Chain A
Amino acid sequence: MPELPAPAAAPPTATQLSEVAYLELSFQAVYALRQGNVLAAEAPSEPHELANTARRRVAQSKFLVSLLIALLVGGSMLTLTSFIEKLFLVSTAANPIPVPLPLYTGTVIAGLLLLELSFLWMVGLQSLPTFLGSQILPVLETLPIPEKKLDRVALLVVFRLFDAPAITALVLTPIALGIALNSVFVGLLVIPGVVTVVLLAMGLSLRTGRFFVQHVQGSRGGLRASVLRWMYLLLWAVPAFGIYGFVSFGPQIMYGLAYLGRTAPSALGSLLLVFPFPFGLLPVFGLTGANSFSLLPGGDVWTTTLAALGYSALAAGVAWWLRKAPRELSRLSPEVQLTDQRKGARLHPVRAPAAILLKDLRTASRTPGYAFVILLPLIDAVVIGLSSFIGAPAPKSVFDLAAAAVSTTAILATFFGPAFFATEVMGYSYTRTLPLTNRSMLLGKSSLIVLIYIVASAMVVSLTVLRILDVWLFFAFIIAELPGLVAAAFLEIGLLFRRAQTAGVPVSLMSSGAWWATTVVLPGLAIAGLPITLFGILQFVGVSPIQSFVAMGGLALAELAIFSIFALGLPGRGRG
């Protein structure tokens, strides 16, 4: 039997293999060639230059996400200063029950942990389709690499998706809370909570990714299946809105807990065992000792510690599961739903801008990342609308809350403008061969932003209509803001087109760069926010609502006129 020749060099380690795989993942995330994009003629011709550009742009995006996590941590530090604390620790006319200090501190820390969990989960949700679409692991599967090493490579690649934001959370959170509460011991007690958060976020990302591949990606066409898909997407997007709920309703949650402590201490005690409260209360215990629990109705130091240990054990279980989960996920195929029911081949063409809108909605219904950016403004509208319906006593307050809901929706829809372009990356090279004008594209993408605003506003109206006596005021607000929103959409999408043409790259790729997106979003937010700001200022100085609406609407219409000229006069008739 002939002897196998000795290998010329030692086989690459899992870390080395994961470096190559991660570079390919970055390359696909930036250039999306496997999804049908074409390289711009002006792109660097040297492979290492392309690779360096991909590395740099992915690093920039990670830096921005890490910066946002740092901002969350910074915000939490601020809320732990005595100046803010004092606001909650005393009773007021609106909130007669003051919040006990341990409950306040514990809830702030728990809130921060929940925000970090939601944020990291969102990062995973947005990155996993690229991980799956890049097909890097199936390539490695064909090579003679041991199973265990393949598992490690897959895990390392997935960890690289989270590394900078996760490390930011792991390092910054204990340090910041230690400084804010002036205790190294408190900082140390935060660490188990942050580690648990990072592991759970990775686990949740992979688990929801698995659900996506199995139940959403292969779902058939048709209205019923579409509704079901949106419900699936809604279900798994809802926990991610923790980020939003906690930021929007932090004070209400705080007062709600204090109220519960006064009226039903045992219920509060049970609630405080729910993740991540135990990890929020442990540092409080470290700060003030067991005495702090005497101020915490229903709270108990031993059950809190036991609960924290339980969640830590769960995180350890997730870590064990994570050893093999990424590779298993990369090998999954969508579940095909075959049926003998044949509906014929009737097609229903629509006008080109409507076709773009429909395509985006259909794509979003099978792509969690895009579904999320559409659902976020809608859920925000429902949540704020509900709170106005349930909590606000006077019609004036209801109007303020409802107007806030509509304003937030307008801002959120504008914020995600460039993200709607990311859907174009898929199948882009083919779409570029279709007779699609820039104007159709502009109108199609803008109409998605407007549709989100209108649907969200309708939701708020339907939730608050019984509480607002002068409904027309509310309608006037919605209508007055609409031209400003369209102007913001035109500006954002017009900027994307122009920059794509100047830089000589496909327009779809502009949205994959976080810097590009930021520089496009900021002016868009300013344009959408200007009429709302004007309305607020006029109300503040005592101008009548009618005059305020006229001024707001006038400004919004002026914006629309200016940015219509800018956007509809786009250079070139083909797609950029």
Chain B
Amino acid sequence: MDPPTAPLPLALHGLTVRYGQLTAVDRLSIRVQPHEIYGLLGSNGAGKSSTLKSVVGLLTPAEGSISVLGHDPVKEPVLTKQIVGYVPESALLYDALTPREFLEFVASVRGLDPGQVSERAKSYVTAFQIEREFDQPLATLSNGTRQKILLISAFLHQPGLLVLDEPLNSLDPRSVRLVRELLTQYVAQAPRGVLFSTHTMEVAERLCNRVGILDRGHLVGEGTMETLRSQTAQGNATLEEIFLRLTREEEGVYAAVRALGGA
């Protein structure tokens, strides 16, 4: 049973991110509830990664506020990072370290108990089937294996909020299924939240409790599949159809195909 006044895993209010004159995220407000997997959808450059990077403290927002389990990543960066697990968009890691050395570094910085963290590492390493690669430098590993290491690193301290930027990129079908099951179980066990960015509609449809659709930095739709269907007045629509409708891309796609056909 959750405590009655437990803070939300994540609350963004009026978040704005700018790169010089470009506004990547414009006054975005979303909430991730306890036990919820929230999918952030959008085309390339819609502002998904900028939003996620602001939550984990990689970018400082120009305006707005962020609350991670009641803490502000700008004012309390170390405390917030302690309770967040993050998988970045690209698996850019310390190439000269092995997965064991990398995870030891992460566990050390997070101040984790050796016995507990070893047990967890063992479970995840077995689940992801990377025992053979565990002592090979990351530079020699495939993108998929590096992605698995990042996922293990994010799960290692069992954070209250998982921030996952395209976490299923490069993974094989078995691992995709594994991650989906792990995430579902993860939020079911405790009042944790997951903020998940993807542009794979099928994954979002299957995995997320709610989704938010970003278009050029603006939130153009939010809710469960049912809510979104009713918003767009499309009774049996798939998430992809809803997405294209909300981002006004549907006609654009057909026009592009026609143009290419004639090229």
Please determine whether chains A and B interact with each other in the same assembly. yes
Q: Which residues of A contact B (CB under 8 A)?
A: 34-36, 38-39, 41, 44-45, 133, 217-222, 333-334, 336-340, 342-352, 354-355, 358-359, 362-363, 365-367, 426-427, 429-430, 432-437, 440, 572-574
Whether the pair A433, B92 counts as a contact (CB closer than 8 A) is: no
Query: Smallest distance from the beta carbon of A22 to chain B beta carbons, Å?
Result: 23
Instruction: Provide the residues of chain A in CB contact with B77, threshold 8 Å.
Output: 435, 572-574
Whether the pair B131, A218 counts as a contact (CB closer than 8 A) is: no
Whether the pair B105, A355 counts as a contact (CB closer than 8 A) is: yes
Q: A336-B140, A426-B95, A429-B88 are in contact. Are A435 and B135 (CB under 8 A)?
A: no
Complex Cα distance A452/B77, Å? 32
Whether the pair B107, A349 counts as a contact (CB closer than 8 A) is: yes
Answer whether residue B86 sits at the interface, using C-beta atoms and an 8 A cutoff. Answer: yes
Partner of A432, one of B22, B58, B110: B58
With contacts A342-B132, A427-B92 known, what are 13 further pairs, Cβ within 8 A? A38-B59, A45-B19, A217-B96, A342-B131, A343-B134, A347-B114, A347-B117, A349-B112, A426-B96, A433-B57, A433-B58, A436-B109, A574-B77
Whether the pair A345, B118 counts as a contact (CB closer than 8 A) is: yes
Whether the pair A343, B135 counts as a contact (CB closer than 8 A) is: yes
Complex Cα distance A359/B96, Å? 9
Among B20, B78, B113, the most chain A Cβ lie within 10 Å of the Cβ of: B78
Instruction: Provide the residues of chain B in CB contact with A133, threshold 8 Å.
Output: 95
Query: Smallest distance from the beta carbon of A473 to chain B beta carbons, Å?
Result: 39
Query: Smallest distance from the beta carbon of B132 to chain A beta carbons, Å?
Result: 7
Q: A36-B92, A38-B59, A349-B108 are in contact. Are A334 and B86 (CB under 8 A)?
A: no
Partner of A430, one of B88, B101, B117: B88
Whether the pair B98, A345 counts as a contact (CB closer than 8 A) is: no
Instruction: Provide the residues of chain A in CB contact with B114, threshold 8 Å.
Output: 347-349
Answer whether residue B56 sits at the interface, using C-beta atoms and an 8 A cutoff. Answer: yes
Answer whether residue B121 sits at the interface, using C-beta atoms and an 8 A cutoff. Answer: yes
Complex Cα distance A437/B132, Å? 33
Whether the pair B97, A363 counts as a contact (CB closer than 8 A) is: yes
Whether the pair B101, A221 counts as a contact (CB closer than 8 A) is: yes
Q: Which residues of B contact A (CB under 8 A)?
A: 18-22, 53, 56-60, 76-79, 81-82, 84, 86, 88, 90, 92-98, 100-101, 103-114, 117-118, 121-122, 125-126, 131-132, 134-137, 139-140, 150
Whether the pair A359, B92 counts as a contact (CB closer than 8 A) is: no
Whether the pair B107, A218 counts as a contact (CB closer than 8 A) is: no
Partner of A434, one of B53, B79, B106: B106
Instruction: Provide the residues of chain A in CB contact with B117, threshold 8 Å.
Output: 347, 349
Whether the pair A359, B105 counts as a contact (CB closer than 8 A) is: yes
Among A218, A362, A365, the most chain B Cβ lie within 10 Å of the Cβ of: A362
Complex Cα distance A574/B77, Å? 6
Instruction: Provide the residues of chain B in CB contact with A34, threshold 8 Å.
Output: 92
Partner of A574, one of B19, B59, B81, B132: B81
Complex Cα distance A306/B232, Å? 87
A interface, over-half SS: loop
Instruction: Provide the residues of chain B in CB contact with A39, threshold 8 Å.
Output: 19
Complex Cα distance A344/B122, Å? 7
Instruction: Provide the residues of chain B in CB contact with A355, threshold 8 Å.
Output: 104-105, 108-109
Among A217, A344, A347, A434, the most chain B Cβ lie within 10 Å of the Cβ of: A347
Complex Cα distance A136/B206, Å? 39
Whether the pair A345, B105 counts as a contact (CB closer than 8 A) is: no
Whether the pair B108, A351 counts as a contact (CB closer than 8 A) is: yes
Partner of B81, one of A45, A358, A433: A433
Q: A345-B121, A347-B117, A347-B118 are in contact. Are A220 and B135 (CB under 8 A)?
A: yes
Closest to A133 in B: B95
Query: Smallest distance from the beta carbon of B136 to chain A beta carbons, Å?
Result: 6
Partner of B92, one of A344, A346, A352, A430: A430
Can you show 19 pairs from A to B with CB atoms below 8 A apart?
Answer: A35-B95, A44-B20, A45-B19, A220-B137, A221-B137, A336-B136, A338-B132, A339-B135, A340-B132, A345-B100, A347-B103, A347-B104, A348-B114, A349-B107, A349-B112, A366-B137, A427-B92, A427-B95, A430-B88
Whether the pair A367, B78 counts as a contact (CB closer than 8 A) is: no
Among B60, B76, B109, B136, the most chain A Cβ lie within 10 Å of the Cβ of: B109
Whether the pair B93, A427 counts as a contact (CB closer than 8 A) is: yes
Instruction: Provide the residues of chain B in CB contact with A437, threshold 8 Å.
Output: 78
Closest to A39 in B: B19
Complex Cα distance A454/B5, Å? 53
Instruction: Provide the residues of chain A in CB contact with B109, threshold 8 Å.
Output: 352, 355, 434-436, 440
Query: Smallest distance from the beta carbon of A358 to chain B beta carbons, Å?
Result: 7
Complex Cα distance A554/B43, Å? 63
Complex Cα distance A349/B104, Å? 5
Whether the pair A363, B92 counts as a contact (CB closer than 8 A) is: no
Instruction: Provide the residues of chain B in CB contact with A217, threshold 8 Å.
Output: 96, 137, 139-140
Instruction: Provide the residues of chain A in CB contact with B131, threshold 8 Å.
Output: 342, 345
Whether the pair A435, B100 counts as a contact (CB closer than 8 A) is: no
Q: A355-B108, A355-B109, A363-B94 are in contact. Are A41 and B60 (CB under 8 A)?
A: yes
Whether the pair B92, A41 counts as a contact (CB closer than 8 A) is: no
Among B57, B104, B125, B126, the most chain A Cβ lie within 10 Å of the Cβ of: B104
Partner of B122, one of A44, A339, A345: A345
Closest to A217 in B: B139
